[in-house]
Structure 1
Amino acid sequence: MQEGNRPNLTSAEIACLWTSFMNDSMSNCILAFFLEHADDKEILPVIQSAYDLTVAHLEKMTVIFKEEDIPVPTGFTNEDVNLNAPRLYTDLFMLTYINHMTKVGLLAYGGFISMSARKDIRTYYIEGLEETARLFDISSDIAISKGIFVRAPYIAYPKSKDYIDSKKYLSGFSLFSKKRPLNTIEISHLYMNIQTNLMGSKLALSFAQISPRENIQKWMLRGSEISQKHIQIFSKTLLDNHIQPPISSDACITDSTTSPFSDKLTLFHMSLLSAAGSGNYATAAAASQRSDLILNYERLSLEIAQYAKDGADIVISNGWLEQPPGTLDKEQLIRKKDC
């Protein structure tokens, strides 16, 4: 029931809450598994804090759905995680994973705030943004102390201001001269997209390792290969400018083949990362000023889109794709009325 004159949720607010519920329920399963296996006394509290946030968020969103008489999404439950499965990741990978996913969360919460009009919904997402920022800060501090935080490349400080005086600055293709050096904006996006692809590649590889279904194994391995290909393209661009691309340790996945997560969950997770990657590429293309970089981001985005489409086909064929709330099909209602 609506309280007083409080307006109904808008379609955008319902979409934000539904998406948040799906993401938090997935994270809750993964973090619960992490808690069962983490040993590091510095990393364990970070995992616990992240897990507690997902529990609190799911409880708050459930209350909102019930108050609005909207069905609570199923999302992911205890049936999607096997806490008794052997360890799949090292503690350092768990920390890196949380640090990476908080970055995804920061972008998501910023978008959810901007799409929300009702005060209580805006307040919920502003608090979520602050909580996620604190978790990012804490996980970053620990990652730095353990020597696994990968910093963006350093460059020499500029000595003066300058202005672009030729359209050649925007060109990334030339048969007769070298491409202009990358600017800091372009470097930062190349660095970020290498980082996200490193995480995506490792997760896809681990999910292929534990899946009992051959078609899902192949799809996951394909995802890992796509990420590795994109890493090579972005890394070459940095190396051509004498900039060392970011690297990370490969000691993150154990040899366990017992699945702690349902295929439904792992497919959703990779779809989430694919969507985030497409958004990152679009932002990078818009921010970059060299035409070859823009072209790379655009063509690689198409590859991600096709990969995500093939994954969605697998999810639908298994009946795992939960449908977001939508409007009523008026034509179908009319046809039923006439029958």
Structure 2
Amino acid sequence: MKEKLTAPETGKLWATYMGNSMSSYILSYFLEHIEDPDKKILQHAKDLTEELPSNVKEIFTKENVPIPYGLTQEDVNLGALKLFEDECHKMNMFSMKMMAFGNSVAVNGRHDLALLHGKSMKSVSSFVNDAAAIMMETSWMETPSEVVDRDHLTSN
């Protein structure tokens, strides 16, 4: 018999569902307004945000937990004026994805949830690496500076 969801597990799944619901619509807005013809990385981010909520819905249904409403098309005006430059859209899209998974694994003790979060983290981590590489190649994000010469520091 499977253990029931704990309060922290339920809360994290709820937050994950709501966060991905919001991210999906933010990314829809970004995709509507970005001028860069290569929208693959943003579309990939949107696809990731739409994958996890279906998994959460499945768990909540099995556990008899109400499914959150999340955001809908009525909450977002895709025709609103462009607010940001393309660089900002691309920087935000990958930071949003990483924030969603920071403590996912730590708050659960169930194997099925650990697998779900682990799979998601692997997908998101790969996505973030790809996005960061693109942004460094296009100078939208600085390549991190090198560490100071520690031998020189210790010799003084």
TM more than 0.5: yes
Q: Secondary structure at the match of 1:113?
A: coil
* Larger Cα-atom Rg: 1
Query: Normalized against structure 2, the TM-score is what?
Result: 0.88
Alignment of structure 1 residues 180-199 onto 2, 5 Å: none
Count residues in correspondence: 154
* 2:68 pairs with 1:73: yes
The equivalent position to 2:37 in structure 1, one of 13, 34, 41, is 41
1:96 lines up with 2:91 in the alignment? yes
TM-score (normalised: structure 1): 0.43
- Per the TM alignment, residue 153 of structure 1 is displaced from its structure 2 partner at its CA by 4.4
Q: Which residue of 1 aligns with 2:134?
A: 142
Shift, 1:20, TM fit: 0.6
Deviations 1:13-54 (A, max 9, x none): 101101111111111110111111223133x11110110111
Alignment of 1:160-309 (within 5 A): none
* Cα distance per residue 1:173-228 (max 9 Å; x no partner): xxxxxxxxxxxxxxxxxxxxxxxxxxxxxxxxxxxxxxxxxxxxxxxxxxxxxxxx
The answer as to 2:52 corresponding to 1:52 is no
**Structure 1 position 11 matched with structure 2 position 3:** no
**Matched-pair contact (CA < 8 Å) for 2:23–2:96:** no
Structure 2, unmatched stretches of 5+, are none
Q: Offset of 1:110 from its aligned partner?
A: 4.0
TM-superposed CA distance for 1:71, in Å, is 0.6
Pair 1:31 & 2:23 matched? no
Partner amino acid for 2:134? I
Q: Are positions 1:83 and 2:78 aligned together? A: yes
Deviations 1:56-86 (A, max 9, x none): 1111111111111111112221121112223
Higher relative contact order (CA 8 A, sep 6+): 2
CA RMSD of aligned residues (A): 1.9
Q: 1:133 aligns with which of 104, 125, 132?
A: 125
Deviation at 1:101, TM superposition (A): 2.2
**Matched residue type, 2:105:** I
The change in CA–CA distance for 1:161 and 1:90 in structure 2 (over 3 A counts) is closer
Aligned partner of 2:29: which letter? F
Matched-pair identity in %: 27
